[in-house]
Structure 1
């Protein structure tokens, strides 16, 4: 196997392992410093929003200046931010540092761009799949280790975790530096390169945002409204759920950081297994579900029932068991809502529709943490799940209305 690919696998593993150590502890740390759930939600919304804006900028910079220097700089910036995160007790400075991380934390995206430079196109999909699997192991193991450190050293556990995370980002920068012979780093500067280097990056941000808005405006909503609405509903309900995850475990079930880590890791394992077996589930139980109505109905019903039970359940073991239908339904819905859009589209507009679908998911990720944090301060963390329940219930109602319809099949026939 190519040494460069092995190093990229290691980089993506270390990246999500480092993030998985500290991110589950952030909400509890902020609240322990006197912060509110609203501040925690604001951190999540700012992070997701800045990820959306900064992604095209860093991607463009890596096209011009090479993957290695851009990736190294972003990793070192993240290292400094996490180092400061552990040392500083000002909530507003922590909010600012979370925003800094939102701008620079693009290791996974830049690593995938790196793959396009060093791997032939016919094997890139295989490499992406292995990267996702390997990095998934990191994000699954890390919460347990971070929880143990935080619990075993209560006076300075969060600081220790932040220091380890900071060091791991430096290690990753060293791994990136060790990659030799990337063509983007050695190519000669041409006139076109000089022109690109003179890009107004503020204008690029504006263009990126304008492109997302344009993609949403240009969609034939009469044809696609149901698929996009279902995608937005599942994205929003899961965003609310994940934004409220650690506080819910700590307050409702009085779990220590260690057991919160175990719970998060269990959900990661379940999610990975669901993604791995999703083809089997579709072929085994939904072979004749050509218009997706049965899967939508069953998955939104599962989410609705699960969120309803979670709101009233007081046993942690029951909560853990409920993670299984949530992870399964989420994995299936994320896939089939995209398939619905692709199947109903013509080849000419397929790229724009996929981009618009990603924009819908990103917007859900921005709004969700803000709503979850605001409601947690008003009604308590348990009842924030009512929003997820309502969102899933609307999805269930839409899916049920199409139960006996072959709407999607008719559209396919017209397209042909």
Structure 2
């Protein structure tokens, strides 16, 4: 692999390291500020709601304006937003900052879209995606442990220190992206070279409106009916995981009375399993050489997740709970990569950024609903009942995956 790909992997690693530092601590931070479970749910819903609209827009803008430029811009905005997240003492301001982060935090999507710009071999791209997910998994594994220790050792100002570290990580990422070679821009809507001179005198507002118009045109050209099955199954697994992750830190604290440090260890254990699963995705795919349409892999992924959630509901100790994380981590990690590969194969390289952005928006759509569902359940029924909503979604995924697989055979 070239140095450019290694730098992209470093960006993906620092991105999830930073996220792992601060996101697991955010629900408890809001609770300490006086917020209830509904406010905790709003944190996730607002973020995902903003990502729902920004995913395809930023993906399409990256196709038009250049992925490197858009990625660097979003990293700088996120650096400022995460820094102020620790400075503010208002829940309302935190909600606004989460909205800003939802609009601009598209690092993983943009780094994945950049890979084919630096590596044209399709077979190597699949390996790079797997290794990138594995390296990113290391970041999301280390983050909760480091963040948990900082929060526990500095009970008064720990969250502030973490937010400053996270802001610095995003600034470093912006610097790394700045030194990446420029990539070519798409010109499917108009001749970019002919328009470049006239745009120099245009206002910033006009440029934004014109770019948005081009993005909408790009989105309208996608044959969405060809991808409905991927998007729907993606929505089910995303909802299941989003409900689980909305309450997992509060669940561990409430049910098993774990401290932030040990919660970080549990989260990191899951991250290790997910990282290993992503790293060995090529080896796992060898067992499915006959599964050209990915229906079998989707079915097995939903079965793993459903079995894991059932075990968590029935767990009598934290050790049983942690053991059940293993199939959950494997199933969710493999599911993310399978849906991405399915999109890339079907698209045949066309509108790659737009389609990947739309895939992220499906995740975000589930993420809008799931945190509010988890917050409502936590407020009126108890945090432990959130797992039942996750299980219901995975069971529906099993039924639909099996039916779809059966229809393909017939």
TM bracket, shorter-chain basis: 0.7 to 0.9
Q: 2-side partners of 1:349 and 1:2: how far apart?
A: 24
- How far does residue 267 in structure 1 lie from its aligned partner after superposition? 0.7
Matched residue, 2:370? 368
The correspondence of residues 56-67 of structure 1 with structure 2, limited to 5 A, is 56-59=56-59
Change (3 A) 1:180 1:325: closer
Query: In terms of mean alpha carbon deviation, does 123-132 or 96-105 score higher?
Result: 123-132
Change (3 A) 1:279 1:194: same
The correspondence of residues 17-32 of structure 1 with structure 2, limited to 5 A, is 17-32=17-32
Query: In terms of mean alpha carbon deviation, does 147-156 or 204-213 score higher?
Result: 204-213
| Among candidates 372, 377, 380, match of residue 379 of structure 2 | 377
Q: Deviations over 1:79-106 (max 9, x none)?
A: 2211211111110100001111112222
Larger RCO, structure (CA 8 Å, separation 6 or more): 2
Q: 1-side partners of 2:128 and 2:347: how far apart?
A: 28
Q: What runs of 5+ residues in structure 2 fail to find an aligned partner?
A: 186-191
For residue 392 of structure 1, give the secondary structure of its aligned residue in structure 2: helix
Q: 1-side partners of 2:109 and 2:305: how far apart?
A: 30
- How far does residue 297 in structure 1 lie from its aligned partner after superposition? 5.6
Q: 2-side partners of 1:11 and 1:353: how far apart?
A: 22
Matched residue, 1:78? 78
Change (3 A) 1:295 1:20: closer
The correspondence of residues 247-286 of structure 1 with structure 2, limited to 5 A, is 247-278=250-281, 280-281=283-284, 283-284=286-287
- How far does residue 357 in structure 1 lie from its aligned partner after superposition? 5.9
- How far does residue 7 in structure 1 lie from its aligned partner after superposition? 3.4
Change (3 A) 1:206 1:305: farther
Q: 1-side partners of 2:5 and 2:260: how far apart?
A: 35
Matched residue, 1:122? 121
- How far does residue 321 in structure 1 lie from its aligned partner after superposition? 0.4
TM-score by length of 2: 0.79
Change (3 A) 1:213 1:140: farther
- How far does residue 319 in structure 1 lie from its aligned partner after superposition? 0.9
| Among candidates 238, 242, 246, match of residue 243 of structure 1 | 246
Q: 1-side partners of 2:65 and 2:349: how far apart?
A: 32
Q: 1-side partners of 2:110 and 2:52: how far apart?
A: 14
Q: Does 1:97 align with 2:97?
A: yes
Q: Deviations over 1:137-190 (max 9, x none)?
A: 22221111111111111111111111111122222233333x1653669xxx83
Matched residue, 2:146? 145
When the two chains are superposed, the root-mean-square deviation of aligned CA atoms in Å is: 4.1
Aligned length: 398
- How far does residue 372 in structure 1 lie from its aligned partner after superposition? 1.5
Change (3 A) 1:397 1:9: closer
- How far does residue 5 in structure 1 lie from its aligned partner after superposition? 4.1
- How far does residue 390 in structure 1 lie from its aligned partner after superposition? 1.6
- How far does residue 18 in structure 1 lie from its aligned partner after superposition? 1.6
Q: 1-side partners of 2:291 and 2:116: how far apart?
A: 36
Q: Deviations over 1:29-70 (max 9, x none)?
A: 111111122222222122123223224444565566655554
Q: 2-side partners of 1:50 and 1:89: how far apart?
A: 22
For residue 121 of structure 2, give the secondary structure of its aligned residue in structure 1: helix
Query: In terms of mean alpha carbon deviation, does 132-141 or 190-199 score higher?
Result: 190-199
Tell me, yes or no, if the aligned pair for 2:22 and 2:166 is still in contact at 8 Å: yes
Tell me, yes or no, if the aligned pair for 2:41 and 2:371 is still in contact at 8 Å: yes
Q: Deviations over 1:112-159 (max 9, x none)?
A: 455555x25237715544433332222221111111111111111111
Q: Does 1:219 align with 2:221?
A: no
TM-score by length of 1: 0.78
Q: Which has the larger radius of gyration?
A: 1
Matched residue, 2:189? none
Matched residue, 2:39? 39
- How far does residue 299 in structure 1 lie from its aligned partner after superposition? 4.5
Q: 1-side partners of 2:229 and 2:174: how far apart?
A: 44
- How far does residue 402 in structure 1 lie from its aligned partner after superposition? 7.1
For residue 225 of structure 2, give the secondary structure of its aligned residue in structure 1: coil
- How far does residue 236 in structure 1 lie from its aligned partner after superposition? 1.7
